[in-house]
Structure 1
Amino acid sequence: MSYHNAVLLKESVDALAIKEDGVYVDVTFGGGGHSKEILKRLGKNGKLFAFDQDPDALANVIDDERFVLIPENFRYISRFLRFHRIKKVDGILADLGVSSHQFDEAERGFSTRFEGDLDMRMNQRSKISAKEVVNTYSEEKLADILFMYGEIRNSKNVAKTIVEEREKQKIETSFQLKTILKKYLPNALEHKILAQIFQAIRIEVNEELEVLKEFLLQTPNLLKEDGRLSVISYHSLEDRLVKRFIHTGLFKGEPEKDAFGRSNEPLKRVGKLIIPTPEEIKINNRARSAKLRIATLKV
């Protein structure tokens, strides 16, 4: 079984407009699919830095003198590029999805399909796992997370049930949680609702939206004048942040305008939204919700 099938592989790397001697960053290395494609297009003087906080991804390291894998969260992109004496880059690629490997390893607790420990940590060194979220968060906080990150309409009822059940017995596995919430999972929508609940908990565990915001805010200062940003997102919460930041340079509110009505957004959109073809979705079902947005510096 492959570690991960890279989604929108050609399109996302095409978006970087690779220069043979350029410096590029793949902030979500995973199985290395996007990184390998970038390296194919680089000349002998090109350079690729990749980030991945998951120790499992380190097994996929590419033996190439042009390649450096940094085992850290990409929220620290500027710090670690500075450590490698890189101030500006020609392109940055981010594939924000959970890797197939993480979903397929039952003990990681990401999947609703397998019985596994309630973990969901992308960085296995992190202190907070899904178990802590489910068993220690207040009812109010759980309800907020389920509503904001999972878009669960009856989040208050779901949170109340979790709190009531954990008082009887600690909730430790994915199937335990699934069984507890059975009454909220009508047959026709069971997979969809459960996936939304798991998504909400996973986002909280990994601070995914905060990480994305921190990353996006750093990109304008890292890109060269004609540098490219290529971002693949998989759910509306991520995509809204990416779209809004490219459009306004902000995550909420509107940009200020000067006396001449001009605003100062750091990025500008390149091309239109790109989604996978029906053929790609047929081969890789996990590509079905992917959206690719491309940007460059506004000069």
Structure 2
Amino acid sequence: MPITEVEGHRIRLTHLDRVLWPATGTTKAELLAYYAAVADLLLPHTSGRLASFVRTPDGVDGQRFFQKRPPAGTPEWVTTTARVRSSGELMDQVEVNDLATLVWSGNLSCVEIHTPQWRAADPDTADRLVLDLDPGPGCTVADCCRVALDLRERLAADGIAAWAKTSGAKGLHLLAALRGATPDRARAYARTVARELEAADPRRVVSRMAKADRAGRVFIDWSQNSASKTTAVPYTVRARDRPTVSAPLTWDEVAEAVAEASAPDRLALTIGDMPDRLAEVGDALAALLDEGEGGGAGELPG
């Protein structure tokens, strides 16, 4: 059983040859190699935030579960932070703040990483806005791209700059850096914007939660801004049939996808696609981080 040292921490790696994605033959070793390769890009989006994991110990075709509490045997060097849940219970969660923690979690087959739109040190402040575009039956990610362009324009009217990434599943996520907002305000604003777009184009857009209303439309999920909700982080792998990635996109790519019939396939990026993509495009979300760290984050109206 190999032992590796990462940032001064010894990690015992297990079952590296285990196939996590039977459809592609992708192993745990390949998952770990991917996360190590993108760590510098992924960690700024997880650092200081409470992480929830989707674990698939027997592969994506086997048992899977959503884990918030630190797993049994969590090393002392892994940062954990206690949070008061809505029930009043105090519960610890892991923060993925460094490469060692990322490798440790990947070794546990924590395939997906999700975080809320606030930092552990300040849970009453939303520093991110997220709009999740989910294509209903009869729609594709290209339809999501069309709605994303409309949303970008709508947010810009309020002085809020947005960036896009694939969800790694069927749709898109739009992200923006915020300042001076609470999760409740962010959620209310996202709902207002989603309802405005639905009113303007009800044949293509829906903001209501009922799945029966989504056929032929793109659902704008505004609810992930709630304090209790989480979203798949940029560059996380997803526990789908193939090892797809929640991959940042340029706005030029989003616009091109609207006109291209091949968009659904072209935007379904996997861990195997990412090295060449990053060499060509770089980090398409770098400006989002600059907004947050440089003080250029948007302020919600009202």
> Structure 2 length normalisation: TM-score?
0.31
Q: Which has the higher helix share?
A: 1
> Structure 1 length normalisation: TM-score?
0.31
Considering only CA atoms, is the larger Rg found in Structure 1 or Structure 2?
Answer: 1
Q: Which has the higher strand share?
A: 2
